[in-house]
Amino acid sequence: MNNKNKIIPIISGIIYSTLFGLTFMFSSIALRFTSPFALLSMRFGIAFIVMSILV
C-alpha cells in the first residue's frame, strides 16, 4: 500500500470528525433563535432537498 492510499482515509476521517463535532456547536447556536421542532424540520428539509438533487 503506497502513501497516497494511506493518507486518504486519514484525511477523510479527520474531515468527518470535524464536521460531526461542529454540528453540535451550530445546533446550540441555532437553538438560541428557534425552537427544537423548527430546527429539526429545517434539517430534514435541507436533507430532503440535497438527497433529491443527488438521487
- Number of domains, the chain: 1
- What pLDDT shows up at residue 3? 72
Q: 43-51: which pairs have CB atoms within 8 A and are 24 or more residues apart? A: none
CA distance 31 to 15: 24
Domain span at residue 22 reads 3-54
Query: pTM of the predicted model, to two decimals?
Result: 0.61
Distance of CA 48 to the CA centre of its chain: 14
- What cell was used for 32? 438560541
Query: At residue 4, does pLDDT exceed 90?
Result: no
- What pLDDT shows up at residue 55? 86
Q: Quick one: which of 52, 48, 30, 28 has its CA closest to 39?
A: 30
